[in-house]
Each structure stands twice: as C-alpha cells, then as structure tokens.
Amino acid sequence: MIVFNLYNMEAHKTYTSKTVGEIVAEDYRKAKVFRSYGIDFCCGGGKLLEDIISNKKIDLEQILGELHQVDQSDSELDQTNFDELTLEDLSEYIVSKHHTYTKETMEQILPLINKVARVHGDWKAELVKINNHFISLHTELTTHMMKEENVLFPYIVQLSRGLVAESPFGSIEYPIKNMELEHDVAGDLILRIEELSDNYTLPEGACNSYTVVYKLLREFQDDLMQHIHLENNILFPKAALLEKQLKN
C-alpha cells in the first residue's frame, strides 16, 4: 500500500501537470485510457489532465492506476516515438498512413452508410442523421487533406531541411490555426456520429451491411483521433517553433 501511495504521489506530479496531448505524445498507448473516460486528447489535447479530472469528476487514483498499468505493460501496439521523428518523416508518415487510410475508408463507408440509412432509416431515424454527418465529414476531410498535402506539409518539409521558403501565408501559424479549426469541425462530426450510434451499438438482428458500417466507423474514429493528435500536438507546434528559430 505504501508503494502504491508513493507511486500515486509521483504519478500525480508526472501526469496531472501535463496536457493530455503531451501525455499521449509521449506514449500513444495511453490514448486508450483517455478514450475509455471520454477524454478528448486530439482536438482537446491542450487541456491539463488535472483540470479534466476535476471537471469530469473522474476518480484520480483509478485513472492514475490505469496509466501506470500502461507504463508497466509490454503492449504490441505501435510504440513508435513520434515525438522523435523529424518533421519531414512525421509529415510523410501522416500522409502515407493516415491520409491514405482516411481516403480509402471514406470511399468504403459512403455507399454502405447510404444504403443502411435508406433501408433502415424508417425505424432507426438516427441512421439518416449519421449518413448526413458522414457526408459532411467526407467533404470536410477531403478538402482539408488536399490543403495539407499541397501547401502546408511541403512547407513543413522545407523547414525540416533547414530552409525558410517563400510562403503565401506569411507565418505558418496562420494555416496551422485554420487546420486546427477544421480538425475541431471533423472531431465534432465524428463524436456526433458516435453519440447517435450509442457508441456504435448494433440493434438486435442487424444485417451484415449495418454491422460492417458500424465496425468501419469505429475503426475510422480511432484512426482519425490519432491522425489529429499527431498534427495538433506534435507536428504543428514543432513546425511553428522551428520556423521561428530559423527566421531568427
């Protein structure tokens, strides 16, 4: 018990004074703990864990114990230290893994959710709303990723190589702010879908299409949260800092 209490005292200092984004940036496995408590670590990653615990009335010892279990585990989950990647490597990783996945999976989901909403929407009205939200999400993310791949990320790659190139936006802080606002929109849409689906809970007797749609949506949300986290909490702040250093 003494060891546990001493651990909690140390963990309190280690975790509660950090933002949830910083905690997940250091070890992405901890995202699963935050997800289980409904804590937003991507769009809301700038909030201190201490404040979130207080506002949500979460049991301090319980969540610290779960974070400690992650520290002690040898999970097979990808433990790449994204915080140590160069900005160029991280940009390429986001595009090759997350942008590719997002584009391909959205094209899978769109016709399926439309079909499920059309067939079952009369008795499950939330499906129509989910379909409409996902169409909006598809539009939002398609334009968003295009701007990142064609404008922002190439500039970040130049910064990573030690070059301050001419840019159409002056400081990188302006497009970053815009991208973060768009992340908020996308995050709100996927969270609304999660709520409408009751955390992707299938009704009794759900058909195969219904089952596949909810499975894909859950996986899509998990990937999107890591995607936004990598940009908001690691790539963007580091790129902004590097630009200032190079310009000075």
Instruction: Name the H helices within the chain.
Output: 2-15, 20-26, 31-36, 49-56, 60-72, 87-93, 100-120, 126-147, 153-160, 173-196, 208-229, 236-247
Distance CA 24, CA 41 (A): 7
Q: What is the pTM of this model?
A: 0.81
Choice between 4 and 5, residue whose per-residue pLDDT is larger: 5
pLDDT of 96 strictly over 90: yes
The whole-number pLDDT of residue 1 equals 35
pLDDT of 95 strictly over 60: yes
Note the CATH number of domain 84-247.
1.20.140
pLDDT of 82 strictly over 60: yes
Neighbours of 15 (CB within 10 A): 21
Contact between 226 and 31 (Cβ < 8 Å): yes
Note the CATH number of domain 2-72.
1.10.3910
Share of the chain above pLDDT 70, in %: 92
pLDDT tens across 16-51, in order?
A: 788 888 888 888 788 888 888 888 888 888 888 888
Distance CA 142, CA 131 (A): 16
Q: What is the mean pLDDT of residues 89-99?
A: 97
Structure tokens at 68: 């400690």
pLDDT tens across 173-208, in order?
A: 999 999 999 999 999 999 999 999 999 999 998 899
Residue entry with tokens 């299938």: 202
The whole-number pLDDT of residue 6 equals 42
1 CB-side CA count, 13 A: 0
Distance CA 138, CA 209 (A): 19
What is the three-class DSSP state of 195? helix
Contact between 242 and 128 (Cβ < 8 Å): no
The whole-number pLDDT of residue 170 equals 85
Domain layout of the chain by residue ranges: 2-72, 84-247
pLDDT of 57 strictly over 80: yes
Q: What is the mean pLDDT of residues 5-23?
A: 70
**Residues in Cβ contact with 227 at an 8 Å cutoff, skipping those fewer than 6 apart:** 42, 94, 98, 99, 102
Note whether 2-72 and 84-247 share their fold: no
The whole-number pLDDT of residue 79 equals 57
Lowest mean pLDDT among 50-54, 75-79, 86-90, 238-242: 75-79
Structure tokens at 150: 């064609």
Distance CA 136, CA 118 (A): 17
pLDDT tens across 115-161, in order?
A: 999 999 899 999 999 999 999 999 999 999 999 999 999 999 999 99
